[in-house]
A and B are shown apart, each in its own frame.
Chain A
Amino acid sequence: MSSPSPLHTQTQSSSGSIVHDVFHAYRLNVPASLQVIDAFLCYVLATGIIQLIYAMSVGSFPFNSFLAGFLSCVGVFVLTVSLRMQLSERNLKDPNNRWQGLSKKRAVADWLFCNFILHMAVLNFLG
């Protein structure tokens, strides 16, 4: 990427180029494993929103099923964000980070265990 010329100041740079810059910086700086996690988080978020729109449009009739489906998205999202925080190198460099003594494998094991409990509840509640 060429450095912007003095004529192209902040006012000149379009919003499209900002998004492009941010995305480029993200691809460059964030490890691939975290990028996979971020993609998964986007998928979970989209699924949750779609369910919410569906329930608002057709009604809340099997309400337990709706709660199970929607809360499984919320739960997975929260757990996966927690996992991402523990896997991020930048967080590990922070001296105040309380996960510093823990291994990444342990973080993944915690994440899987929590997901196991979450989905037991979800499948029970799904009806």
Chain B
Amino acid sequence: MRLPLSLLLVAVFSSIIAAAFQGQSNVVLVVFEDQVMLKTHSRFVDSLKAIGKTVEVKQANSESFDLRADGEYVYDSIVLLCPTATKMERKLSLDSLVRFVDAGHNLFVAAGHGYSDYTSKVASSIGVDLDYKRNKMTDHQQPFQSLDDGSHTIIRAGGLVQSKYLFGDENIKASDIVFSGPGATLFTDNELIDKVMWGSGSCYSTDDSRRPLSKIPRVAGAASVLAAALSTRTESRASYFGSIDTLSNDAFDKAGKKHEKALTSFLAWTVGHAGVLRTRNLVHSSIDDSGSLANEFRVKDTIKFSIDVQEWDGGKGVWSPYVADDMQVEFVMLDPWVRERLHYSGNENGTYTATIPVPDQIGVYKFNIQYFRPGLSPIVLMKVVPVRPYLHNEYERFIGMASPYYASSFSMLIGVFLLGLVILYGNKGEDGEHAKAD
């Protein structure tokens, strides 16, 4: 009776472990404003299916958004394509969204002209400060001609982060991307969010592009954020894009393949398809034969440090080696005492190695890797190790430089011995003569 029970337990545990390794869920929740958008933005959402995600579509006026079932999150990611939807707060509260992201899940939020307070709050919770809802980014120098109605509010982006992880291709130019919507800035108190797409030098925000400006625009030029990406400390991601209108099938047709590829790649990046790094097998050992203990080093040792850095290959569904030449490891005691480049060894585990000379200073050190690159999940890694002084039996027994001191000590010893002999036995006769003389 007991054996089958334990077998059952083993089966249950192994399935739980397997589920944990594969990620809890592969389902993406996409929230649309209404039935119409389901059709007009189908290609953007279908790109998620192409990368193997299961898409669950809901409308903003749905009755409920249960993110959890049986205490676990049902969804892997949430895509909010409902910038003007109101009354969302009660169904999908900001608090629950923040907790969803904190728990390691991903969020994509799109804004648009006339966005709701809810969208503004979601954006500000990830560090994006939206411009006034009536404003639109305007660019009279380089509007997107084939969609322009004369208002010059459909603009081309002025710059973006050149990253194959974020936008699928390093060669995508900012002017390939078409934008229509409010500008934004980033809150300065969130150090994890990066602007990944920004306006050209001639763009600015205004509520009426046909009239000349009467006051200083709140957002203008390259400081205007069109898209932003947040990599959290829990290895989840949150992205913002300010233009729901140019995510439509119609805009994809008119703006071209590069526009479509960049924005669908940005969505794929958000749901964790590209640029996910992980580290494995942190190993450090002393090259010198100093240590009986593995996790302890002696001053002036040389440490061989190695770590595997792997990148999630969404296309094949495997972890492949991450290849870069700009990673470094620090050996820190308050300040970095040693900073060494990590060299890729070329093997299939993505092993990086570095040789670290331990300084001549005892104390508690730590290995420290801080690797932040746009489009890549951050690597923050610390490992504490003590550095001890030489043990008493690790010094040389005799030191050449001290030989005069050895010689002098022994000559004193011998001298005292000889003088003792002379005083006791050697000079009786002479003493006697002097005594007589006295």
Binds B, one of A9-17, A18-26, A28-36, A95-103: A28-36
B409/A50 in contact, CB under 8 A: no
B416/A33 in contact, CB under 8 A: no
> Which residue of A51, A61, A83, A123 contacts B404 across the interface (Cβ within 8 Å)?
A51
A65/B405 in contact, CB under 8 A: yes
B419/A40 in contact, CB under 8 A: yes
Looking across the interface, which residue of chain A has its beta carbon closest to that of B415?
A: A40
- Closest chain-B Cβ to A27's Cβ sits at a distance in Å of 12
Per the bound structure, the CA–CA distance linking A16 and B420 in Å amounts to 34
By a CB distance below 8 angstroms, the chain B residues around A76 are 412, 415-416
B430/A50 in contact, CB under 8 A: no
Q: Are A32 and B411 also in contact (CB < 8 A) when A62-B401, A108-B420 are?
A: no
Binds A, one of B194-202, B286-294, B421-429: B421-429
By a CB distance below 8 angstroms, the chain A residues around B431 are 31-33
Per the bound structure, the CA–CA distance linking A127 and B398 in Å amounts to 8
Per the bound structure, the CA–CA distance linking A58 and B424 in Å amounts to 40
Q: Is the interface of A mostly helix, strand, loop or mixed?
A: helix
By a CB distance below 8 angstroms, the chain A residues around B434 are 31-32
Size bracket of the A interface:
35 or more
Residue B1, interface by CB 8 Å? no
> Which residue of B406, B416, B424, B438 contacts A69 across the interface (Cβ within 8 Å)?
B406
Per the bound structure, the CA–CA distance linking A51 and B411 in Å amounts to 13
By a CB distance below 8 angstroms, the chain B residues around A36 are 419, 422-423, 426-427
A73/B424 in contact, CB under 8 A: no
Count chain A CB atoms within 10 A of each CB in B412, B415, B426 and give the residue with the most. Answer: B412
By a CB distance below 8 angstroms, the chain A residues around B424 are 105, 108
Q: Mark A86-113, 1 if CB is under 8 A from B, else 0.
A: 0101000000000000000100100110
Per the bound structure, the CA–CA distance linking A80 and B415 in Å amounts to 11
Per the bound structure, the CA–CA distance linking A115 and B418 in Å amounts to 13
B423/A58 in contact, CB under 8 A: no
A62/B399 in contact, CB under 8 A: yes
- Closest chain-B Cβ to A40's Cβ sits at a distance in Å of 5
- Closest chain-B Cβ to A61's Cβ sits at a distance in Å of 6
Q: Are A37 and B402 also in contact (CB < 8 A) when A47-B411, A72-B409, A126-B409 are?
A: no
By a CB distance below 8 angstroms, the chain A residues around B409 are 68-69, 72, 119, 122-123, 126
Residue B5, interface by CB 8 Å? no
Per the bound structure, the CA–CA distance linking A32 and B428 in Å amounts to 10
Q: Mark B375-411, 1 if CB is under 8 A from A, else 0.
A: 0000000000000000000000001011011101101
> Which residue of B412, B420, B426, B438 contacts A112 across the interface (Cβ within 8 Å)?
B420
Q: Are A61 and B412 also in contact (CB < 8 A) when A32-B427, A32-B431, A37-B419 are?
A: no
A54/B412 in contact, CB under 8 A: no
Looking across the interface, which residue of chain B has its beta carbon closest to that of A33?
A: B427
By a CB distance below 8 angstroms, the chain B residues around A83 are 423
- Closest chain-B Cβ to A53's Cβ sits at a distance in Å of 10
> Which residue of B405, B406, B412, B422 contacts A44 across the interface (Cβ within 8 Å)?
B412
By a CB distance below 8 angstroms, the chain A residues around B401 are 58, 61-62
By a CB distance below 8 angstroms, the chain B residues around A80 are 416, 419
- Closest chain-A Cβ to B4's Cβ sits at a distance in Å of 71
By a CB distance below 8 angstroms, the chain B residues around A51 are 404-405, 408
Per the bound structure, the CA–CA distance linking A51 and B406 in Å amounts to 11
- Closest chain-A Cβ to B405's Cβ sits at a distance in Å of 3
Looking across the interface, which residue of chain B has its beta carbon closest to that of A59?
A: B401
Per the bound structure, the CA–CA distance linking A119 and B420 in Å amounts to 15
Residue B50, interface by CB 8 Å? no
A33/B404 in contact, CB under 8 A: no
Per the bound structure, the CA–CA distance linking A5 and B16 in Å amounts to 121
By a CB distance below 8 angstroms, the chain A residues around B416 are 76, 80, 112, 115, 119
A89/B438 in contact, CB under 8 A: yes
- Closest chain-B Cβ to A29's Cβ sits at a distance in Å of 9
Enumerate chain B interface residues (CB-CB to A < 8 A): 399, 401-402, 404-406, 408-409, 411-413, 415-416, 419-420, 422-424, 426-427, 430-431, 434, 438
Task: Rank and list the top 5 A-B pairs by shortest CB-CB distance, nearest first.
Answer: A69-B405, A65-B402, A32-B430, A62-B402, A65-B405
Q: 18 more A-B contacts (CB under 8 A) besides A51-B408, A108-B420?
A: A36-B427, A37-B419, A37-B423, A47-B408, A47-B411, A51-B405, A54-B404, A65-B399, A65-B406, A72-B409, A73-B408, A108-B424, A119-B409, A119-B413, A119-B416, A126-B405, A126-B406, A127-B399
Q: Could you write out 20 A-B pairs with CB less than 8 Å apart?
A: A31-B431, A32-B430, A36-B427, A37-B419, A40-B419, A44-B412, A47-B408, A50-B408, A61-B399, A61-B402, A62-B399, A65-B406, A68-B409, A69-B409, A70-B405, A70-B408, A76-B412, A76-B416, A126-B406, A126-B409
